[in-house]
Amino acid sequence: MSPILSVRNLSRNFGAIKAVENVSFDLAKGELLALIGPNGAGKSTCFNMLMGQLKPSSGTVQLLGKNIAGMQPRKIWRMGVGRTFQITATYASMTVVENVQMALISHHRRLYSLTTFAHKLYREEALALLDTVGMVDQAERHCAVLAYGDLKRLELAVALAHDPILLLMDEPTAGMAPRERIALMQLTADILDAKGISVLFTEHDMDVVFAHAHRIMVLNRGQLIANGTVDEIRNNPQVQEVYLGGGTLFKAQEDAHA
């Protein structure tokens, strides 16, 4: 089966600094792929290029065979890519359900309509989406007063609104308590599994990564140094070198999972 996302030789320079160098990988349908690496490895740069915030210096990003490298974020979204932010971005002056309706209105290209009432449009669909993330009982709440974990779940519902084929999640559990992290990621994994959506996510919390990723890529100094299954990554000496300077990495997790 041909991959959903196919990245080839993606590079980005800032002056003489090579932030990302010749990164290539594929993402298969339904796959949950994690991109990890120490601070400054180039994860964010890589992500920003995939999402259209940053233009690559060279290389291609193909979504179902179409090159999307250098496209604007809103065009990439229209091609079926959803995203969530590291720091949540929601519309504070709207209710929870209106936040989701907004994405549906945009998807159905009704943004410039003047004659209808926005709060009546696609309400049922929006409520159904909120139901999948367990937020339907808070649908009428004011977005500005939500707890952070709820904002994260709302953002997930928003990202699912246009039935994406691919979801890009930038540190989906950043800023949350440990218990919440696992719960949110479990919820995400379940939903995506049910809908068959592919996911690429970055994450600092190794518990989250090892518990949910199907496959892991490791980025160091702009280069992809490893790409494999959870076990392969766990036992990869180069990865251990990068993370702990040769120490016994992931022992704790191994023990925990054993």
Partner 1 sequence: MGLFIAQILTGLANAGALFMVASGLSLIFGVTRVVNFAHGSFYMLGAYVGYSLMQVLPGMVGFWGAILLAGIIVGLIGVIVEICVLRPVYSAPELFQLVATFGVILVIQDLALMIWGPQDLLGPRAPGLKGVIRIMGEPVPQYDIALIVITPFVAFGLWYLITKTRVGTLVRAATQDREMVSALGVNQAWLFTGVFFLGCALAGLGGALQLPKGGADLLMDFTILGSVFVVVVIGGMGSLPGAYLAAVIISVLNVFGVTYAPQSTLVLMFVVMVIVLMFRPFGLLGKEEIAGEHGQVGEPERPIKPAGNRVRWLVAAGLLILGLLPFYSGNFAVVLVTDIMIFCLFAASLHFMLGQGGLVSFGHAAFFGGGAYAAALFVTYANTPMELALVLAPICAGLAAIVIGWVCLRSTGVYFAMLTLAFGQLLWSLAFQWGDVTGGDDGLVNIWPSDWASDNDIYYYLAFVLCIGGILLLRQAAHAPFGYAMRAARDSARQAEAMGINTKRIQWVAFTFAGIMAGLAGGLFVFSKGSIFPNELETARSFDALIVVFLGGVKTLSGGWVGAAFFEGIKDYLTRFEYWRLALGLSIIIVVILGPEGIVGSLRKAGERFGILKVPEDAK
Contacts of 93 (CB under 8 A, 6+ apart): 143, 144
- Which of 154/242 has CB closer to partner 1? 154
Q: Is 25 left (phi over 0), alpha (psi -120 to 50) or beta?
A: beta
Residue pointed to by tokens 């309706």: 101
Query: Nearest distance from residue 82's CB to partner 1, in Å?
Result: 8
- Which of 195/214 has CB closer to partner 1? 195
Query: Nearest distance from residue 256's CB to partner 1, in Å?
Result: 35
Contacts of 1 (CB under 8 A, 6+ apart): 28, 29
- Which of 153/215 has CB closer to partner 1? 153
Query: Nearest distance from residue 241's CB to partner 1, in Å?
Result: 34
Name the site residues for partner 1 (rule: CB under 8 A): 51, 72-74, 77-78, 83, 85, 89-95, 98, 101-103, 105-107, 110-119, 121, 140-145, 158, 161-162
Query: Nearest distance from residue 197's CB to partner 1, in Å?
Result: 16
Q: How far apart (Å, rounded) are the C-alpha atoms in residues 80 and 197?
A: 10
- Which of 119/257 has CB closer to partner 1? 119
H/E stretch holding 80 reads none
